[in-house]
Amino acid sequence: MPALSASYLRVYEPLSAFDKQSQNYWRGYVHDGRAVTLTEGPGRQRTAVLEALGAHWTRLPDLPDEAYVLQNGDQTLICPWNLRVRVAEAALAARDGVPAVLADAFVPPALVGAARTVVADWHSAARMSASGSGRQHEQVATWSVPLRWFVLVSQEEREISLEPGRRVVRFRTEISKARRRAHKALSVLRRTLGDVPVAEAVEESARWLEEFHSRSIVELDYGGLAELLPDDLLREDDSAALVAEGLAALASGEAATATSAYERLVERWRGIQLLERCN
């Protein structure tokens, strides 16, 4: 299956972050070798969501529990997919901005309430539960890497492989470091720029990270975007460093340097944005 034109921000939590029932399930899942690779996972997720939607809906489907698994030394960390919630969110999103007759054909009105209930219950569980069952562990962005994601990582944490059939660009960091970077960036942005959209976006990311276990790992994965960019641009890509440079310049009152870093960052991703328009 062709790589999807999307990037991903994931949080892998240790088994201890989940309730006993979930821990037993994920241990068996890992032991049986059922974990899905990062290469095949996005395609399988997309297929599962698309097959669950459409006029044939009679109820919200019960989808199997799947996850990405990360071994960090002797620690096993889990990034659950939470596909049932993904389906409900996709169903509601599919109706946005679409004429009623088409929206009703794709997602029957009788099931809109069910989808809203699933999403509402999920967010409620995220606020109240310490079991790991109410947290969305993966964010997805199509045709880009949101600039706020680069705030969470350091250029030195980048991993890159350009081998045929295994093109990978990703960052992995401890969640404690990602949290500190997010809060520091938010402080700089609020102090220098005020209540601007980018500050609100960074604040949202900081709040999201607070939901997870303190020994979690954060992963920023270019995903299918690594297939779209040529080798030289990927090798030279310094997006995380440019974000750090821009924030440091803002903190020091060097507006011209901050602006230059931002302009270089935008130029770095302009080609991908143009590809989105072509599609």
What's the whole-number mean pLDDT along residues 181-208? 95
The two tokens of residue 183 are 């809060």
pLDDT digits (tens, 9 = 90+) for 222-244: 999 998 888 999 999 999 999 99
pTM for the full predicted model: 0.85
User: With bands split at pLDDT 50, 70 and 90, how would you rate the model's confidence at 56?
Assistant: low
What does the pLDDT read at residue 126? 58
How far, in Å, CA of 84 to CA of 90, rounded? Answer: 10
Residue type, 15: L
3-state secondary structure of 86: helix
Residue 61: its pLDDT value, please?
66
Q: Give me the mean pLDDT over the 180-185 stretch.
A: 98
pLDDT at 214 over 70: yes
* Tens-digit pLDDT profile for residues 3-17: 578 999 999 999 999
Mean pLDDT of 263-279: 72
Query: Roughly what angle, to the nearest 10 degrees, separates helices 109-128 and 83-95?
Result: 130
Q: What is the pLDDT of residue 163?
A: 87
Q: Percentage of the chain with pLDDT > 90?
A: 54
Question: Residue 144: what pLDDT?
Answer: 87
Q: What is the mean pLDDT of residues 153-161?
A: 97
pLDDT band at 1 (very low <50, low <70, confident <90, very high): very low
What residue has token string 């992963």? 219
Closest CA to 10 of 206, 272, 216: 216
Tell me if 163 sits within 8 A of 232, measured CB to CB: no
pLDDT, position 47? 80
- Name the DSSP letter for residue 17: G
274 — pLDDT class (breaks 50, 70, 90) = low
Q: Quick check: 167 pLDDT over 80?
A: yes
CA dist., res. 200 & res. 212, Å (int): 20
Between 159 and 63, name the one with better pLDDT.
159
Cα angle, residue 237 at apex, residues 235 and 239 outer, rounded to 5°: 155
Of the chain, the percentage scoring pLDDT greater than 70 comes to 87
Average pLDDT over residues 233-258: 95
In the chain, where are the structural domains located?
Answer: 10-140, 143-278
Q: Give the mean model confidence (pLDDT) for residues 60-85.
A: 86
